[in-house]
């Protein structure tokens, strides 16, 4: 199904999709359960791998492939009471054995992009979470693609109480490993100034 979708999208001039969603969720109240692969991390990992391969094939230079995006990194499916944007409070065992495996499978399949999530984890919004984006994804898993924020999630760090304003939110997100800002306009408005001020490294 992902391969067919990729061929049709590529034919229409689309070269990137915000899929697959590989969140494991066990709360039927969460409105996005139909988008994922269910409750089981093993099955979810197999489907994540297959969908990435379907979208991207073995060669993204092929005119019949599009770039995939594994989302939402990480823990979005465990939002308290199934409410979007809510906090996530899980133990290390759940994080490593349930939440992480489908994302690791997507990485093993060569996924080129990740999307971070709205939720916080251990009190830190995923968009500004260097543990998730740098330590695990880019350093431990050697992910060489880029991370896009979820819709407006850089500004959402203000609502979480993690950033005081858009400038601080942009600084926190950039330094934590969020490479592309979707819809907050925080990078467009603030990133050049933060680099000039030495608060975000140009590299």
Active site positions, annotated: 150
Rounded Cα–Cα distance for residues 41 and 22 (Å)? 9
First-to-last C-alpha distance (Å) of the chain: 38
Q: Is 159 helix (H, G, I), strand (E, B) or coil?
A: helix
Token readout for 79 is 């939002």
Going from the C-alpha of 46 to that of each of 20, 24, 108, the distances in angstroms are 12, 12, 11
**Exposed, middle or buried: residue 11 (CB in 10 Å: 0-12, 13-18, 19+)?**
exposed
- Cα diameter, the chain: 47
What residues contact residue 100 under an 8 Å CB cut-off, 6+ apart? 74, 136
CB 128 within 8 Å of CB 173: yes
């Amino acid at each position: 199904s992902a391969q067919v979708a990729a061929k049709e999208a590529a034919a229409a001039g689309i070269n990137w999709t915000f899929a697959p969603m590989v969140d494991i969720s066990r709360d039927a109240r969460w409105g996005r359960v139909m988008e994922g692969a269910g409750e089981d991390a093993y099955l979810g990992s197999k489907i994540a791998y297959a969908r990435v391969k379907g979208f991207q094939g073995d060669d993204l230079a092929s005119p019949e492939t599009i770039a995939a995006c594994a989302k939402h990194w990480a823990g979005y499916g465990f939002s308290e009471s199934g409410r979007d944007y809510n906090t996530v409070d899980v133990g290390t065992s759940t994080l490593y054995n349930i939440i992480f495996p489908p994302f690791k499978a997507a990485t093993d399949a060569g996924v080129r992009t990740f999307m971070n999530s709205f939720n916080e984890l251990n009190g830190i919004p995923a968009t500004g979470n260097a543990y998730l984006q740098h330590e695990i994804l880019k350093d431990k898993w050697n992910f060489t693609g880029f991370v896009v924020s979820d819709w407006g999630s850089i500004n959402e760090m203000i609502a979480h109480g993690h950033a005081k304003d858009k400038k601080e939110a942009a600084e926190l997100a950039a330094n934590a490993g969020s490479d592309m800002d979707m819809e907050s306009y925080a990078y467009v408005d603030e990133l050049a100034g933060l680099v000039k001020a030495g608060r975000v490294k140009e590299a």
